[in-house]
Structure 1
Amino acid sequence: MKYAGFLVSLVLTIALAIAVSRPFGAIPPLAPLLDPSHGFWQNSYSEDELAEDELELNNLNAEVRVVYDENLIPHIFADNQTDLYRAQGYITAKHRLWQMEFQTMAAAGRISEIVGPMALDLDRMTRRKGLAFGAEKGVEFIRENDPDSYQNLEAYADGVNQYIDQLSDAKLPVEYKILNYRPEHWTAFKSILLLKYMTDMLVGDRDLEYSNLRKILGDVMLDKLYPEFPTGVDPIIEAGHKWGFKPLDVTRPDSINYPDDQLVIEPLPQPEEGTGSNNWAVAGSKTKSGNPILANDPHLGLNLPSLWYSMQLTSPEHSVKGATLPGALGVISGFNENIAWGVTNATRDTRDWYKITFQDNSRKAYRYGDKWEQTSFRVEEIKVKGEELFLDTVVYTHYGPVVYDKTFKGTRQDVNFALKWNVHEGSNEQKTFLMLNTAKNHDDYNEALNNFTAPAQNFVFASKAGDIAMRIQGKFPLKWKGQGKFFMDGADPRMEWQGYIPNEQNASTLNPSRGFVSSANQHPTDSTYPYYVFDNSYEFYRNRRLNKRLSEMSEITVENMQELQFDDYYLHAAEALPIMLDLLGNEYGDDADAKKYVSLLKEWDFYADPNQKAPTVFYIWWRKTYGQIWKELSENVAPIVLPSYYQTVLFMKNEPDGAVFDLKNTAEMENAARHVKEGFKELLADMKSWEEKEGDFAWANYKKTSIQHLVPQFKAFSVENVYTGGGSGMLNATSGRHGASWRMVVDLGPEVKAFGIYPGGQSGNPGSKYYSNFINKWANGEYLNFDLRSLDQEEGVLFQTILN
């Protein structure tokens, strides 16, 4: 965007400033916003135009040098760890301050302070889930158990705050100017809160929906439609793995009383469709170079500023590079001189719900066995821009906060449910990443992971020594089979978790004989793993495509791994479409449009490239057919989830005339063919409308991948209609609003070679040429060279800054 773009943005921003007066509160003062010396225009400069040779930074033990490459990626060289993290805080704030603060305010339930009452319900729910409470517990735990980590957190915060204290009105990020507020000081608490926020983004539970489904369907039909181990599961840890440990005993109650009524309450926000990730590592026996190669691409919301901020951190002890999370210390997904690692979401159910029976309306005590336990109260003071302070009293039990009660929107008077979540227990995930940053081998990797509680993650590993590994890590409750699948009775002590699975018994594998490890959000293990594992959201397509390709491949190169990350083979379509075409038959053979669409589908190679038209036709037809199949189930007032695409295709294939396809409220007996044909009729109507209004229905034009600013109303700061392929369920999981938020491939040879890219840019300033300059490369499957650089390396230097 430079000046021309900013002329357009200026007009839009004035409009924004006026528009925000309605949804966001008072109009920001326009004179300061338009002041040429301090206002919007000062954000039109790129970082290389504002480069400073030296900067004063207090509390350093020695000089720190920061070298920016041509992509504005900083390489920080410090003489000790404390200086390194103080400098990381300063440099990150310099480029991503508004993003850091906005995300932690969202995590604390404080968005109403910025935008007014429109965010009040969101803030209330965030606080009732106890994210800030969990962060407070985390800070206490770290302060008491790991003073070194706490010292580094304080150093990072000091670096951020020194930048804030030096920040003039002119250089204030533009979002502060538009929304008319200023940054507040950073703290160690905010860094921990940010990590809890990531947990909330990635963890889900469907206890409410499953409780309702159990009531609607009964246990037999529920197990049929929602099997815990569907046919064809290809788990993360290779099938047949020998566990090599004696599991802890778990006692299942003789009888279980579940809350029995359908619950018409609003479910907690869940991870959005498309949230997922891929990671894998291949052994040297399968690569052309003879070196292990590791790849990672986390799939999250596509936002600007980008979720990730690339950086190299170098001290005398180590040099690490990769993707950092602005506001957290160290590198989250990356590599050093000896190892590489990456993460995917493990989708484990670590949130459970308990029905609370209060003694009386005072809610000061609740039944637990044959006793009344005392509650505590936490008064949440929510500041609301332009309005009075809002007070929300949240009751806490020994399970956790009572999220749903009579005081909350849409909740019945007699409904009280408490949330038990490992986020509310003290932990130190920050230490995991600080230790990974300096790790040298597999033992160091395992020691680092022992500190990690949540969110459950699949940590992939590779080393120059030749090892590859995968470990599914989190603090996982010890449960009897079926525990936590439904809402439970909090008055029954038998419903308690019976401890935690020991870290050394979490599912893991080292150097498997197949020559690779991989994960893509699927089932963690086969059915031989001795502990109960359940989640509603396991993935069934990306993982099988990935494992098939890795099994087939040999003489693998970095380029092969990059191509695999960008692979847009539509396995779901490859399995579903032949069945659908067969069930459709020739019923629409004489319709010209029908012939056109059927012909496209029959000739399709199942790759969802951006210029292909068949993916659009299949996507619409499938969604319409799926909607027809589960129409009756989806009409329930009580919240539910529908059966998976994978299970639905199995029903269509194996029992097309089965009872699962019959709609009970009609006189006829429906089968799979009937739903497919109804779906096709709806497809024809949709396609006619699309072609009349939009014309071209190529896949990229239909799915309209957009990378939105964190405040969606700021459309001038977003990038829309990115021309790229892929989609949900494909390795290149780029849908309309989600996709690979970071792609990394690392060759662990004698000299580590690395490549990375993400959909955005290093700058958080929409006026900078470094704000979105990676997007086209990312959309085309290209990468930046991400090798470690030395302090004396001169090639590709944009500018250098010395911190004194």
Structure 2
Amino acid sequence: MEDSTPLRIPGLTQSVTIRTDCWGIPHIEASSADDAFLAQGWVAARDRLFQLDWWRRRGLGRTAEVLGAHYVERDRAARLFLYRGDIDEEWAAYGPRARSAVTRFVAGVNAWIAATERDPGLLPPEFTELGYRPALWEPEDVVRLRSHGLYGNLEQEVARAVTLREFGAEVEGLRRRREPAVSLSVPEGLDLAAVDPHVLDTYRLAMGPVATHPAPTRTLEGSNNWVVAGGRTKSGRPLLANDPHRAMSLPSLRYLVHLSCPEFDVIGAGEPALPGISIGHNGAVAFGLTIWAVDQEDLYVYELHPDDDSRYRYGDGWESMEVVHERIPSPDGDREVELRFTRHGPVIHSDAARGVAHAVRAAWLEPGTAPYLASLNYLDAGDGAAFVSSLDPWRAPGVNHVFGDADGRIGWCPRALVPIRPNWNGLFPVPGDGRYEWAGFREARELPTVVDPARGWVATANEMNLPEDGSWDPVPVSYEWYPPFRAQRLSEVLGADTHCDVAGSIALQNDDLSIVARSVCSLLPAGGGDDDPDISAGLTRLHDWDYRMGTDSAAAALFETWLRGPLRERLYRDALRPLVPHDRLEAALAWVLPDDSLSGDMTVQTELLNACEDRTRVLVETLGLAVRRCRERLGDDPATWSWGRLNTSLLRHPLSQHADESLPWLRIGPRPKAGGPETVGVAVRDPGTGVQTTGASVRFVVDVGNWDASVAINTPGQSGDPRSSHYDDLYDLWLAGEVFPLLSSPEAVRAHTESSQTLRP
């Protein structure tokens, strides 16, 4: 349906046509890249205005302006982690396209905001609920924001220091596995007593998700991707799949868009507040990404001057912190806050009474590290070689890039800004007195690249994947990776399938087989006979199971209750007994048990089980306990149990704890959800509520060369405006593991156009 009245948009040089298809994807046809980016900003604001405004406010530290004075400390935290360096150096670091693209994109956002000023009916209802209007953007807002990226090494540094101090090195081995294996050595001069979890309170406030409650939680987010060469596909063409795992949100974190202009023709997903896309294809190369868990953070610990807590010891003398005073607006009255910075970065904790302070050095505060913005460089890559070259400026976050091109090449190119630590390994906080300084960064050409591997496929799932064949510098970029189980399942399926196709990749993205369940259940004694009826019922249920975490599966409900409950507690308690005094056993247990809301790492637990001397007795006794727990929670009859009663999808709007709870658009669900933390079709859940916290809100499968045969899904829908038909129209498809066509040819787009609009200068 063609809109009858063209819209006049300031800044356009020529007319732009926007066709929105029946799945809510805008297809932008422009006569130049500048006009395409401006139109992208316009449609992003049209569909996601509140999400964009909230992203900006949260990142710039302006939420108290809307929500009140109790958010001042959160805003202060956010401001500590803004980019504060030279803005010209910042723009140049991304490459030649960034400044113009961002400027035009922001102009498009502002054009839509101006339209809402003329017609307040265009404003989505969130602004009415909170009683404010969106602010205009500056291009620098986009690149100054850094705290929405995926990092997290700082948490591990602090946890490791506390574990070592409180319980010893052997207990740390139970808390977290290190890959490659490395012994622990406390940096010279570090007082472990000066480190505790509270020193990260400000950091956590800054890095938490966009929400309206002042103490947000953070989930661990990863992804799957793979690319298969034509020699192993039905079509003879490469096949690329990607399903980024992020916090499940309403609206979706990702936004799908198609940009067509003389310089490039790209379709796929990016973050709605950025120009371009980071996952998708450009008609010549398909590309996808997952997190590559590079250590880009260090916590520095300082001795403060006894008479002046704004000075810290450095070298043989004392150095002054940079002190900045800023005003944070609030309906309750503006508040002045103080921000402090050392030569290493923002000060997140200071205790004058103890004479100690802590600051963060982060590679992602260097020029050119606004998350994902460097993807602008590969929009016009004409083949795989050009794609690889375009990744040189990529700095943050650390990413496993995979690609497949129309000439049949495939490859893997991890990229990140990797600090060089000449005299320590990054596992602990370090003194900030000058003994522990970075010696620059690794160059992109120093990082591994694999093109056309002999096995005919590449897959990544955030696992430790540094080459072990001597082809790359053995010094690791990190010792902390995600659990290997999704990667193992991908290898199992892709390694066996020599006729991959789109349908098979869709099925693999939704695969709910748990190889952890298969491994653990293989250790159970044969048969179901036991004097204890609960043990007998549990053995029977798990012996008959196919190890799939389907919503109707009673065995899956029992297994997860057992694995993350009685079995885990028993294994860790038994392992801790010889390592800590009896009176500290429970404290140590509480400290080392994995946090399942953060995709708790099952690696150590499976190693403990495999090494258990009295394994059969431990397995059956704890299984009986798990059956009793299931009876208490799910009812006495195991035939009525189901995993979908314990694992649910419930999408919450960021205003769900602030606005009128009766508003229907604040929540979507709950609905039963398949999958688990270790399955390829991942579903990490909050163990207290059973609600999925992390998963693949977006999935892509690209048939390289037959581009209209590609498919995608984005849940719950493309629009963030609750009044739109595309607010939640894709939710049922997503729950069912289904997809829609990702169309890019002009003929296919026109055939599936739901509405169109012309923007004129």
> Match for 1:157 among 63, 82, 106?
106
Encode CA deviations 1:164-220: one digit per residue, 9 max, x unaligned.
Answer: 1111222211000001111000221232245x2331567764100011122234345
Which segment drifts farther, 167-176 or 717-726? 717-726
Alignment check: 8 A CA contact 2:225 2:459 kept: yes
Encode CA deviations 1:463-504: one digit per residue, 9 max, x unaligned.
Answer: 01111111111100113585210111111x331122211211
- Distance in 1 of aligned mates of 2:710 and 2:652: 28
Which segment drifts farther, 716-725 or 205-214? 716-725
- Distance in 1 of aligned mates of 2:4 and 2:274: 25
Alignment check: 8 A CA contact 1:137 1:425 kept: no
Aligned to 1:728: 677
Aligned to 2:246: 300
Encode CA deviations 1:208-265: one digit per residue, 9 max, x unaligned.
Answer: 001112223434554576442379x9xxxxxxxxxxxxxxxxxx99973322327333
TM-fit CA distance, 1:433: 1.5
TM-fit CA distance, 1:153: 1.2
- Distance in 2 of aligned mates of 1:120 and 1:592: 57
Alignment check: 8 A CA contact 2:511 2:675 kept: yes
Aligned to 2:720: 764
Aligned to 2:338: 393
- Distance in 1 of aligned mates of 2:6 and 2:527: 73
User: Does structure 1 residue 187 correspond to structure 2 residue 138?
Assistant: yes
Aligned to 1:513: 454
Q: TM-score, normalization: structure 1?
A: 0.82
> Match for 2:412 among 470, 482, 491?
470
> Which amino acid in the other structure matches residue 342 of structure 2?
T
Describe the shift of the 1:346–1:739 C-alpha distance in structure 2 as closer, same or farther (beyond 3 A): same
Describe the shift of the 1:226–1:74 C-alpha distance in structure 2 as closer, same or farther (beyond 3 A): closer
TM-fit CA distance, 1:596: 3.0
TM-fit CA distance, 1:120: 4.1
Aligned to 1:459: 401
User: Does structure 1 residue 256 correspond to structure 2 residue 188?
Assistant: yes
Alignment check: 8 A CA contact 1:652 1:672 kept: no
How many pairs are equivalent? 711
Alignment check: 8 A CA contact 2:163 2:171 kept: no
Aligned to 1:647: 604
Alignment check: 8 A CA contact 1:288 1:555 kept: yes
Alignment check: 8 A CA contact 2:94 2:373 kept: no
TM-fit CA distance, 1:349: 1.5
Alignment check: 8 A CA contact 2:124 2:722 kept: no
Alignment check: 8 A CA contact 1:199 1:455 kept: yes
Aligned to 2:701: 745
Q: How does 1:314-329 map to 2 (within 5 A)?
A: 314-329=260-275
Q: TM-score, normalization: structure 2?
A: 0.87
- Distance in 2 of aligned mates of 1:140 and 1:300: 30
- Distance in 2 of aligned mates of 1:533 and 1:423: 15
- Distance in 1 of aligned mates of 2:197 and 2:441: 30
TM-fit CA distance, 1:695: 9.9
Aligned to 2:39: 87
- Distance in 1 of aligned mates of 2:457 and 2:262: 33
Taking only aligned residues, the RMSD between alpha carbons, in angstroms, comes to 3.1
Which secondary structure state, in structure 2, belongs to the residue aligned with residue 321 of structure 1? strand
- Distance in 2 of aligned mates of 1:264 and 1:622: 30
Q: How does 1:617-656 map to 2 (within 5 A)?
A: 617-624=558-565, 625-630=567-572, 635-636=587-588, 642=594, 644-656=601-613
- Distance in 2 of aligned mates of 1:554 and 1:70: 34
User: Does structure 1 residue 419 correspond to structure 2 residue 360?
Assistant: yes
Q: How does 1:29-428 map to 2 (within 5 A)?
A: 53-128=5-80, 130=81, 132-133=82-83, 141-142=90-91, 148-167=97-116, 168-193=119-144, 196-200=146-150, 205-219=155-169, 222-223=172-173, 226-229=176-179, 256-261=188-193, 263-266=195-198, 267=200, 268-269=203-204, 272-273=218-219, 275-385=221-331, 387-406=332-351, 413-427=354-368
Aligned to 1:237: none
- Distance in 2 of aligned mates of 1:752 and 1:510: 25
Alignment check: 8 A CA contact 1:109 1:127 kept: yes
User: Does structure 1 residue 446 correspond to structure 2 residue 388?
Assistant: yes
Aligned to 1:549: 493
- Distance in 1 of aligned mates of 2:195 and 2:369: 36
Describe the shift of the 1:261–1:536 C-alpha distance in structure 2 as closer, same or farther (beyond 3 A): same
Which segment drifts farther, 397-406 or 714-723? 714-723
Which segment drifts farther, 77-86 or 64-73? 64-73
Which secondary structure state, in structure 2, belongs to the residue aligned with residue 495 of structure 1? coil
Which secondary structure state, in structure 2, belongs to the residue aligned with residue 206 of structure 1? helix
Describe the shift of the 1:217–1:561 C-alpha distance in structure 2 as closer, same or farther (beyond 3 A): same
Which secondary structure state, in structure 2, belongs to the residue aligned with residue 304 of structure 1? coil
TM-fit CA distance, 1:108: 2.3
- Distance in 1 of aligned mates of 2:616 and 2:221: 30
> Which amino acid in the other structure matches residue 265 of structure 2?
S
- Distance in 1 of aligned mates of 2:636 and 2:335: 49
Describe the shift of the 1:503–1:688 C-alpha distance in structure 2 as closer, same or farther (beyond 3 A): same
- Distance in 2 of aligned mates of 1:257 and 1:672: 47
Which segment drifts farther, 698-707 or 263-272? 263-272
Which secondary structure state, in structure 1, belongs to the residue aligned with residue 701 of structure 2? strand
